[in-house]
Structure 1
Amino acid sequence: MNNNIAHLLYDYLIELGISESFARYLNLLGLFLAMLIVVGILDLLLKKIIRKSSNILARKTKTNLDDIAITNKLPRLLAHIFPLLLAMELIPVVFTDFDYLGKMALEVGSIIGVILILNIVKSILRSIRDYMKTLPKYSDKPIDSYIQVFMIIAWILTIMTIFAIITDTTIWKFITALGAASAILLLLFKDSILGLVASITVSMNDMVRIGDWITFEKYGADGDLIEINLATVKIQNFDKTITTIPTYALITDSFKNWRGMQESGGRRIKRALIIKQKNIKFLTDKEIEKLKNIQLIANYLNTRNEKISNYNQKNNIDKTLLLNGQNLTNIGVFRKYIESYLSNHSAINSKMTMMTRQLAPTPQGIPIEIYVFSSDKRWTNYEYIMSDIFDHLLAAVSYFDLEVFELPTSLQKDDA
């Protein structure tokens, strides 16, 4: 029956007196154009029907997976399947008298089908990726890396299948031939393999997530991690530049992840004031009375000075020399003032470590280090809080007859 349909135009052309050879080519051309028209019309109709029905279905469902699939053109790609199958069925009819051309047309159709399947797989994988990124559970996972692995496998299978179609060999023979070139393949895909291993390691050990603030000194990166791919990791620095580093560097090199700080109750402030040693002294009773006007340490000075006086009297300490017995020092009182000031500061998290300590003397002086945590972890607010604290402390130093070290503006040589 197929032959009868294929030769309808041919018989009509013969009746018109056209030569048999020319009639065969005209018959082929007519059938081919008819096939293209039928397949094209069917393709357009199915595309419109599937697009409208998928849009209606997407509006009725609660999940956004179907919306994402539509965005990634999955229904439109699926609409091409039936017209392609119809074309594959019609090719033997169209090329009845041209076996060689018919074979070539079937091969082209098969290759188009393989490419169509690849695009469908790509659309499905992209839809899965986009959907998983909307889920809080997976939003910070390196989904792109896994999707890229599947895409590489899909591309390899597609290329092998197309090659098998063109060479008229089975795909298994082609795979066997590739076994001999495995070393070359490993070399070509070295970065991808290392990236895959790194992605799995990072995900399993929860080393880093999308959105983490990381510092990678080796690559000059300091900012938020915005993307993890199979081969590269993208970090948006705080100056809005983007640094790209190899994915496997996450497991081969050292980097700092600030997530622990962001998830904690505060951000650490660790900075020191360097006090000149020559200004450190014992406090006299007159100086102590003057410092009692500072409200934050008034109670401390009353209590502490009373204990010191009782101790000195009990032990018959000769206080004609200030060095004897127990005494208050201006740097010690200043340190206590810093502790009281920080304890009463509204921006400091009092539930976390709060410490004011004296470090080992240096050639410049004695460092008084502040070690506390600000409640607000946002960068701009954190910097404001830290500046506000040290603005106050730098201005307060002089009330304790102390000075902060700084290099002289000019160094004069001794003329002698």
Structure 2
Amino acid sequence: MQTAIGLCGLSVLAYVLRFIARTILLKIVPRLAQNLPAGWLLTSLRERVLRRLSQVVPSLVFQVGVFAVPHLGKTLTNIIHNVAVACTVLAVGRVVMAVLDSIEEHNREAILQASQTRSIKSYVQLGQLLTMIVMGIIMIGALIDRSPLILLSGLGAMSAVLMLVFKDTILSFTAGVQLAGNDMLHVGDWLQMDQVGADGMVVDMALNTVKIRNWDNTITTIPTWRLMSESFKNWRGMSESGGRRIKRSILIDNATVRFLSDSEVQELSHIALLKPYLDSKTREIDHFNDDFAQKAPDMAHEVVNLRKLTNLGTFRAYVNAYLKAHPRLRQDMLMMARMMESTTNGTPLEIYAFTSTTALQEYEMIQGDIFDHLMAILPEFGLHAFQNPSGNDVKVGLRQNEVGVLSL
């Protein structure tokens, strides 16, 4: 009866002390913490952490007070004491896990406020994993009444098995450290990794995986170690620069490239963007042709010996002037219209410039407006875009041939 009364009294004492500790931790500590600067210490004093900390008290009461229970056998005393020690270790481990969760939540909130903040989720998960391993070893040692060092010495023989089991975890942690140390990837970065079908925003960086929300709202999960063993493209530099690159070509039909006549040059000089170029280029060409005529008057009548403006070169000059005058293009970044190597599909005229925004919708709108304008103004220079003949073109050609045969 004395033993039962002693155990019941110990249980009541444990409950009362737990209630007192919980009240102090949840009512008084938050008020004192209000004067602390925002940071990791304040984060570790959240309600969930304090609630779990109060749960350490009952096991401590049993761990110390079980020896004061009268007429309790030595064996039963040791069992209750060992179970209380294991419960204490479990409660302390849960407190550490709650602190790590609070730190990770604080880091996640900081990422939402500033995209340059690095994610520490992989470190938190590694800390939780180590906490569980240490907690499990100490609890097992307490329950079997043996030193945890004995268990650790036995783990040496299992190191090969543990290395095999935790191979991906070890590789992923090493990769995560390298990614964070070299500032290679943040939550919120636009990542493109074609070999795994990832093209979108990084939404989560954990110990073993990195989650990518693709532009079609699908989720691609990549093992963290693959980001170090394989190449990927991070578009963060584009976002930070404030300009998004336009690199697209117009295919010019080679059959439409020719010299411009004087009347065509006069007509094109009415284009405001093109007039400075035509005035300067015309004076330069006239000066060259006059000098050549004086040196070789008998050959000055041949067109091949004289310099003349071409419709393609004049169009290229117009494109450069148009890009420089465009209000939505970055004038401090590389900008040009360049001729590429001719192919069987015509001569590509490539536009290389940067928009003043990185937003996808605005970027596509600016790019579309530029190429709409250039495609529409091509006929003004006597040029045509190259296009493979369609079935309708073949049909029209056959009809024209039939009409010609019938007329003959």
Out of 310, 314, 330, the residue aligned to residue 349 of structure 1 is: 330
Counterpart residue identity of residue 398, structure 1: P
**Offset at residue 207 of structure 1 (A):** 1.8
Out of 33, 45, 58, the residue aligned to residue 20 of structure 2 is: 45
Out of 220, 224, 230, the residue aligned to residue 247 of structure 1 is: 224
**SS at 1:77 equivalent:** helix
Identify unmatched segments of 5+ residues in structure 1.
1-9, 11-26
Instruction: Tell me how many residue pairs correspond in the alignment.
Output: 391
**Offset at residue 360 of structure 1 (A):** 0.7
Out of 68, 72, 83, the residue aligned to residue 93 of structure 1 is: 68
Task: For 2:85 and 2:115, locate their aligned partners in 1 and report how far apart those are by CA, in whole Å.
Answer: 37
Task: For 1:252 and 1:132, locate their aligned partners in 2 and report how far apart those are by CA, in whole Å.
Answer: 27
**Offset at residue 341 of structure 1 (A):** 0.2
**SS at 2:202 equivalent:** strand
Task: For 1:185 and 1:83, locate their aligned partners in 2 and report how far apart those are by CA, in whole Å.
Answer: 35
Aligned to 1:383: 364
Is 1:327 the equivalent of 2:320? no
What is the TM-score normalised by the length of structure 1?
Answer: 0.87
Q: What is the aligned-residue RMSD (CA, Å)?
A: 2.3
Aligned to 2:135: 158
**SS at 2:34 equivalent:** helix
> Could you tell me whether the CA contact under 8 Å between 2:193 and 2:232 is conserved in 1?
yes
Is 1:76 the equivalent of 2:51? yes
Structure 1 residues 82 and 376: alpha-carbon distance in aligned structure 2, compared to 1, 3 A threshold: same
Structure 1 residues 179 and 66: alpha-carbon distance in aligned structure 2, compared to 1, 3 A threshold: closer
Task: For 1:72 and 1:216, locate their aligned partners in 2 and report how far apart those are by CA, in whole Å.
Answer: 41
**Offset at residue 155 of structure 1 (A):** 1.1
> Could you tell me whether the CA contact under 8 Å between 2:319 and 2:337 is conserved in 1?
yes
Counterpart residue identity of residue 140, structure 1: T
Is 1:284 the equivalent of 2:265? no
**Offset at residue 162 of structure 1 (A):** 1.6
Name the stretch that deviates more: 287-296 or 298-307.
Answer: 298-307
Out of 200, 209, 213, the residue aligned to residue 177 of structure 2 is: 200
Task: For 1:72 and 1:237, locate their aligned partners in 2 and report how far apart those are by CA, in whole Å.
Answer: 36
Matches within 5 A, 1:74-223: 74-94=49-69, 96-132=71-107, 140-223=117-200
Task: For 1:82 and 1:165, locate their aligned partners in 2 and report how far apart those are by CA, in whole Å.
Answer: 18
Task: For 1:236 and 1:94, locate their aligned partners in 2 and report how far apart those are by CA, in whole Å.
Answer: 60
**SS at 1:54 equivalent:** helix
Task: For 1:271 and 1:164, locate their aligned partners in 2 and report how far apart those are by CA, in whole Å.
Answer: 68
> Could you tell me whether the CA contact under 8 Å between 1:348 and 1:372 is conserved in 2?
yes
Aligned to 2:248: 271
Structure 1 residues 62 and 167: alpha-carbon distance in aligned structure 2, compared to 1, 3 A threshold: closer
Identify unmatched segments of 5+ residues in structure 2.
403-408
Counterpart residue identity of residue 277, structure 1: N
Percent of pairs with identical residues? 33
Counterpart residue identity of residue 282, structure 1: F
Task: For 1:254 and 1:159, locate their aligned partners in 2 and report how far apart those are by CA, in whole Å.
Answer: 38
Counterpart residue identity of residue 201, structure 1: Q
Structure 1 residues 341 and 277: alpha-carbon distance in aligned structure 2, compared to 1, 3 A threshold: same
Task: For 2:117 and 2:371, locate their aligned partners in 1 and report how far apart those are by CA, in whole Å.
Answer: 37
Out of 255, 265, 271, the residue aligned to residue 294 of structure 1 is: 271
What is the TM-score normalised by the length of structure 2?
Answer: 0.89
